[in-house]
Structure 1
Amino acid sequence: MKVTHFIVLFAILLSVSGLSGCVQVAAWERGNLAKPQMALEPTPLQSAIQAHVYGSREAAASINSSGGGGGCGCF
């Protein structure tokens, strides 16, 4: 019976700590969150090109390239 109390207490603490991360963002702070630097991928085109070049030069099959490259190993 003691273990069930521990599990219930742990579940309550976990849910309370999870809810503490939810906050209201003020209107004047939303502009800071919408900046391009805050994006997960700030330069998606440049990252896609670099991934394609890396996949081509290393002769590795990647999502962005349709086949293997030269395989010379130079970068």
Structure 2
Amino acid sequence: MRALLLSLLSLLLLLAGCATVKPQDRALLADPIMQFDGDPLANPRVQHAIDNREGSHGGTGVSGGGCGCN
């Protein structure tokens, strides 16, 4: 009985996190400010600095050796 009650409670908690977004609200959520990388111009510069600092390169789809000469 406890296992059934616990599983039902877990299911209810999981379903409580679901939300339906209205079409008129989707434009607000698709705003570029809602993206993790808010400044698209700064992202390549930061990635280049990380590649040079770590001496490694990969996973970004750009060729180069990580030495900063490209």
TM-score w.r.t. the length of structure 1 is: 0.59
Residue identity in the other structure for 2:20: Q
Q: RMSD in angstroms over aligned alpha carbons? A: 2.5
- The aligned length equals 65
Identity, % of aligned pairs?
28
Other-structure match for 2:14 = 18
Gaps of 5+ in 1: 71-75
Larger Rg: 1
- Per the normalisation by structure 2, the TM-score is 0.62
Answer yes or no: is 1:38 the counterpart of 2:21: no
User: 1:30, CA displacement in angstroms?
Assistant: 1.7
**What is the SS of the residue equivalent to 1:19?**
helix
**Partner Cα separation in structure 1 for residue 30 and residue 54 of structure 2:** 37
